[in-house]
Structure 1
Amino acid sequence: MKSKTAELISFPFSGGQPRKGVELGPDALLKADLPKQLEELGWKADLDNSIDWKMINDMLQNDPDIDTLKNPRSVSKASELLANVVEKSARAGKLPLVLGGDHSLGTGSMIGLNRVYPDVATIWVDAHADINTAKTTPSGNLHGCPVSFALGLEGSYVEPFKSWLPNPPIASPNRLVFIGLRDVDEGERKILKEHNIKVFSMHHIDKYGIGKVVEMALDHVNNGTSRRDRPIHLSFDVDAMDPSVAPSTGTPVRGGLTFREGHYICEAIHETGSVVGMDLVEVNPLLETEAAAQTIAVGCSLIRSTLGESLLD
């Protein structure tokens, strides 16, 4: 690890998708004593609440579509402010730990970390690729677009994002790996193929096993070598887990990661010693409320595994 201080950055935002409740995820994770859990692992847990959420939420109440994009102004502003907070945290030598909220936050976390670690690689663990552009998104929900905006793909430099997105982009497609995909839109398939982005779907996990998949993913982001020194940003959507493991999330898809597979990914990435940032997103305590506590506990456990807890100790 680059630091033993984790900065817990709340992102209580649901504007990237239509279901309310995911904005309650950060508070639910914190109320589950996540800071104490990290302190027991030897981390100092700082809390950042510097984003003006009243301003963002006021904007969200009157945010008409731009073409097909829903809530574009509030998503853009929230992402821009998050990028600044993540950058500030990383420059201070802390590990930014972003608690979502929906996965539209990925644009801000990717860009913020890239400003400090120009060679950082992102490992995106998710049922969905979240790489639609403004031109390909079938729904207009921006939690399905954060990767394309961070990469600066064609169709991402749209209002109001182009006022702050880096051009040329900081992030590079060859420093991105997906793990756990099983629900990918047609436009996303074309993007993934066109840019030769490395993807390990659930099919690959079934074929090779989670250990081999993670090894291949880490080899890829380290230029095809067994070195493990490239900085890593882990962006983990709880819907990567099978709904039997993490049911309280907005877009569950059957056939996902088992409890052990999800935790193995986090443990193996921790073992590289190169984690510089993490997102944990899409915990929605209002969905499947009888199982919300289970999903919250799994979210906390995935974070602990990324920051050093081993289930085998």
Structure 2
Amino acid sequence: MTTPSRYVRSKTAALITFPFSGGQPRKGVELGPEALLRAELPKQLEQLGWGVQLDRSIDWDSINNLLTSDADINSLKNPRSVSKASEELANAIEKHARAGELPITLGGDHSLGTGSMIGLNRVYPDVATIWVDAHADINTAKTTPSGNLHGCPVSFALGLDGSYVEPFKSWLPNPPIASPNRVVFIGLRDVDEGERKILKEQNIKVFSMHHIDKYGIGKVVEMALDYINNGTSRRDRPIHLSFDVDALDPSVAPSTGTPVRGGLSFREGHYICEAIHETGSVVGMDLVEVNPLLESEAAAQTIAVGCSLIRSTLGKLSRLISGETLLD
């Protein structure tokens, strides 16, 4: 059976748990990884023909101890614990990617994006990230209005001005991994003023909900893939999909810390995952910001959607069409 990526040698999904909420103030998101596992995500992937390896190697005792006394650095909240967690994630992702496996990070808050982008870049230097989110998460240490680092992972990974700061500079690459078409955003609808300026100055490609309404999700994904492949119809650039469930409308995924009305429908979110799978170039995925502490029925719905998005990225639809499985 083929893998979903020309770059992934083994049909093994490495599920890396990232039970961390230090990038933002609301508790509960650290419970997301275990909730996804209790929903039988590994079994669901095995039914799609995948081997599953569960990675709990990150030293959470050390990180959580650090979190209890992590003083602000200027405006940045929990910088030491976020940095350590991100660095360890980058190392874990690099290990699995070098082994020819597909690393899938189960968050946790989206501060993990720095680690996932850096880890994949170490193995796939040309990797592009498709960041599906209601928020741009590209504030720097200079522009962040809150100091919450789940709003900064893209700028830190790209080494934008104001983001090469302690304690991150001890392990972030210098020069950074930035390139003109390194990142494409899909689903934005709540962007800070400082982020708007950064996106414009850096000429970063953005497809907001307005673009999805105007062109339709199929055309938007096609344009995004054309862009990261240098304006061509080729689909061979390595792709990292970083999917925040708040990209979806709250009616679809209500159990998340920063819901914003007017988001992606169930089918639009899944189409993104299906289309990225079809490229044959997926090298990594994040699924973040599921908060099981919120109202139980909403949490169950959001957890189920999160599992479904991962299945779609790993080929659920292609197997359904081929008649190999009827997994719902």
Structure 2 length-normalised TM: 0.94
In the alignment, the residues of structure 2 paired with residue 154 and residue 124 of structure 1 have an alpha-carbon distance, to the nearest angstrom, of 20
Task: Tell me the equivalent position of 2:63.
Answer: 56
Q: Percent identity?
A: 87
Change in Cα spacing, 1:64 to 1:173, as seen in structure 2 (3 Å) is: farther
Distance 1:123 1:157 in 2: 22
Matched, 1:206 2:234: no
1:101 maps to which residue? 108
SS in 2 for 1:180: strand
5 Å-filtered alignment, 1:64-213, equals 64-213=71-220
Give the one of 270, 281, 290 matched to 1:283.
Answer: 290
Task: Verify the 8 A CA contact 1:127 1:239 in the aligned structure 2.
Answer: yes
Residue in 2 that maps onto 1:27? 34
Superposition CA RMSD, Å: 0.9
Equivalent position to 2:47, from 28, 31, 40: 40
Aligned to 1:96, the other structure's residue is in SS state strand
- SS, match of residue 137 in structure 1: coil
Q: Do 1:110 and 1:171's aligned partners in 2 also have CA atoms closer than 8 Å?
A: no
**Structure 2 Cα separation of the partners of residues 242 and 51 of structure 1:** 32
Is the Cα contact below 8 Å between 1:205 and 1:213 reproduced in 2?
A: yes
- In structure 2, how many angstroms separate the alpha carbons of the residues matched to 1:213 and 1:288? 33
Q: List runs of 5+ in structure 2 lacking aligned partners.
A: 322-328
**Take 1:208 and 1:290, find their aligned partners in 2: how far apart are those partners?**
33
Shift in Å, 1:173: 4.2
TM-score by length of 1: 0.99
| Contact 1:68–1:139 under 8 Å retained in 2 | yes
1:6–1:46 CA contact under 8 A, matched in 2? yes
Measure the CA separation in 1 of the matches of 2:152 and 2:56.
Answer: 25
**Structure 1 residue identity aligned to 2:128:** A
| Distance apart, 1:250 and its partner CA | 0.4
**Structure 2: how far apart are the matches of 1:275 and 1:91?**
14
Partner of 2:226: 219
Post-superposition offset of 1:172: 2.5
The partner residue of 2:273 within 253, 266, 273 is 266
User: 1:173 & 1:276 partners in 2: Cα distance?
Assistant: 20
Aligned partner of 1:220: which letter? Y
Amino acid at match of 1:78: A
Task: State the 4+ residue runs in structure 1 displaced beyond 4 angstroms.
Answer: none
Residue in structure 2 matched with residue 309 of structure 1 by the alignment: 316
SS in 2 for 1:174: coil
* Cα distance change on mapping 1:61 and 1:108 into 2, 3 Å: same
| 1:136-170 superposed Cα distances (whole Å, 9 cap, x missing partner) | 00000000000000000001111111111100012
The residue aligned with 2:326 is none
Picking from 216, 225, 228, the partner of 2:235 is 228
Deviation (angstroms), 1:6: 0.6
